[in-house]
Structure formats: structure tokens, C-alpha cells
Structure 1
């Protein structure tokens, strides 16, 4: 009996989601239209609308899927470390590499908020869930480090991360994670040495 590897065939919905997500990441949520997504997904218009009654539904589903994939990947990365500073570095490096893979086009969540946040109010739920998850994950690592004021340092860390990402978009250049991590690490050392 021949051993065959069976690959899970992607459903039409998964194909549409995957195609739309890549287009939104590479370009923008506004510039990419439904007709283009249908064409590049190679599905019938009726199939598209059966799965996603509107572009807002599609954007919501894309962000939901991205959030889930990101959460699983990050938690897998940081769970392999036992030292809190190493967990934070893994979180940071994973996030920067993920953004860099997008060709310095920024964070898809930030871009969605800027592009269509006011146009598609339903996506605010996913954007807030994503941001809360990122904040809580970072804060829990700072708490493990027994930082005196983990919330303030979490806000500062995420502001630095946002600034780096926005800077890479403006400069159209990838972020150098090792260099910037050294600055963040110095900031953490200053905080821990003042306790």
C-alpha cells in the first residue's frame, strides 16, 4: 500500500481570505477592490458574495485570521523561553521580522485602522482585540521581570515599536531589529537598575 501525503484542499473561502490578505498587506485596504480579489482568487462573483456579503465583512475576516495566526506564532516563540527578557526579545524580533516581510509596508492592523477604520466600524473590534492582546502579552512579560511600573514600560515599548514601524514605512526601508533591540534592552536595564 502506497503511503500518500494528503494535503488539505483550501476552501474557496480560505482562498479568498488568503488572496485578499496578501493584497491588503502589499497595497492598501482602500486601493484593492472586490473585483480584483475575485479575479486573483479565481472564484466566481457569486462565490465571493456567498462567503463575504461586503468588503467590510472580508476585511473583518482577514484581520481576524491575521490576529489568530499572529497570536499562535508569537505565543509559540515566547513559550520556548524561560527568561522574561528573552521572551520580550522573541516577541520583539518576531514582530519586526513579520513587519519586514511585508516589504516595509507597515503593520496590517495599523494600516487597517488608518485606511478603513472609520469606513468599516465593525473592524474596530478586531483592532482593539489585537492591541489589547499585544499590550497584555507585553505587560505580563514586564511583570515577570518584576519591573516597578510594568504598565508605563509597556506603553513605552509599544510606542517605540509603533514608531519604528511607521518610520520604516516613511523611509521605505526595513527595520534593523538587532540595533533597535539594543536600545530597548538598555532602557530595560536602566529601569531594572533603578529599583
Structure 2
């Protein structure tokens, strides 16, 4: 085995652990999954696990950062592909609706994690708050382009509709939940766009 192959193995093992953790943590919860199971399913040694993640919490943080990266990529693609702010916000909403209807949907990974890590000074809880603040800030900036005066309230309304849809999607018909969510976002955007048009006409 060449030196380069030897160096590549740890990164491959780390990615395998992270991929395994992402799948199992999301499907079954975090506290219910032990290190032994993660090691077994990722097919790595215990020494390899602790070489990459000093403890389970380090893996949990990496899992949340991985999910954040995936969600951020989707949101940024929606914004980049839709120059008009209303279209970009609708594209973000459609991606959320698609996620609710996807196989294996189990709600919001961050809200699920928050239920397991409720203490505000925990690093995992702080990671959750950081993600949600990023999402809210992103929506607020987009809403400001629709109607600056109500941007903060509208962005929070969007987040609340999204959170409700994430919870309802696990309990009721996902297609119906997704459709209801999209109609709610369309109504929210229409109201704020009309406010801007009304003020411009004065």
C-alpha cells in the first residue's frame, strides 16, 4: 500500500462513520444509538472511531453540520437560480415540500435533535440554534426584498409554517401537508408583495 493510500483510509473511514451516523441518527434518534452500533454498521474499529471523533458528541456535531451543509446548499441553489426574491422563496418552499414527501422522512433533523439536547449551554444545542439563526437570517434578507417593513415578521412566519409542516408531515398525509404548506407560503408572499405595491403606488 502506498503512503497516499494509507493517508486516504482515515478520511474514508471518517466519511463512512458520518454517513452511517447521519442515516441512523435521523431515522432513530441520537441517544438511542450507541457507539458500538455505529462502529459495527460503519465497519470500522473502535480505535478508528475515536481517532476521528474523540466522543459521541463530536460525531453528533459533525452530523448536524453535515445536514446544515446539505440544507444550505439547497437554499443557496434556490436563490442563485431565481433572481426574483418571491421566486427564490417559493423555490425554497418547494424544496421543503419535496423533502416532506420523500421516503424515510422523519421531520426536521434539528428540531428532533433539540428535543434530545434541550439544555441551552450544550454544544449540540448551540449548533442547532446556529443553524436556525442562519435560516432565519437568510429568509429575513430575502423577505426584505419583497417588503422591508415586514421582513422580520414574515421570515418568522415562514419558519413557523415550515416547522409546523415538518411536524405534521410525520403524522398525516405528506402530500396534503406539503400542499397546505405551499399554499400558506404563497399567501404569505402575496400579502407582503401587495403591501409593497400599495406603498409604491402612494
Identify whether the pair has TM-score above 0.5, normalized to the shorter chain: yes
Counterpart position of 1:155: 156
Q: Deviations over 1:57-101 (max 9, x none)?
A: 110111112112221222012211111111001111112323443
**Alpha-carbon RMSD:** 2.2
Q: Distance in 2 between matches of 1:77 and 1:19?
A: 28
Structure 1 or 2: more helix by fraction: 2
Unaligned segments of structure 2, at least 5 residues: 1-7
Question: SS of the residue aligned with 1:11?
Answer: helix
Is the aligned partner of 1:184 residue 2:201?
no
Instruction: Kindly indicate whether the alpha-carbon contact (under 8 Å) linking 2:14 and 2:52 is maintained by their aligned counterparts in 1.
Output: yes
Q: Distance in 2 between matches of 1:113 and 1:99?
A: 19
Is the aligned partner of 1:115 residue 2:111?
no
Counterpart position of 2:25: 24
Misfit runs of 4+, over 4 Å: none
Unaligned segments of structure 1, at least 5 residues: 1-7
Q: Distance in 1 between matches of 2:35 and 2:101?
A: 26
Number of aligned positions between the proteins: 187
Instruction: Kindly indicate whether the alpha-carbon contact (under 8 Å) linking 2:161 and 2:184 is maintained by their aligned counterparts in 1.
Output: no
Instruction: Kindly indicate whether the alpha-carbon contact (under 8 Å) linking 1:147 and 1:192 is maintained by their aligned counterparts in 2.
Output: no
Higher RCO structure, 1 or 2 (CA under 8 Å, sep 6+) = 1
Change (3 A) 1:133 1:143: same
Change (3 A) 1:148 1:102: farther
Q: Distance in 2 between matches of 1:102 and 1:67?
A: 20
Change (3 A) 1:110 1:54: same
Compute the TM-score of the two structures, normalised by the length of structure 2: 0.83
Q: Distance in 1 between matches of 2:181 and 2:165?
A: 9
Residue 175 of structure 1 and its aligned partner are, at CA, apart by 4.7
Q: Deviations over 1:125-172 (max 9, x none)?
A: 32122111110111111111124311011111111111111112233x
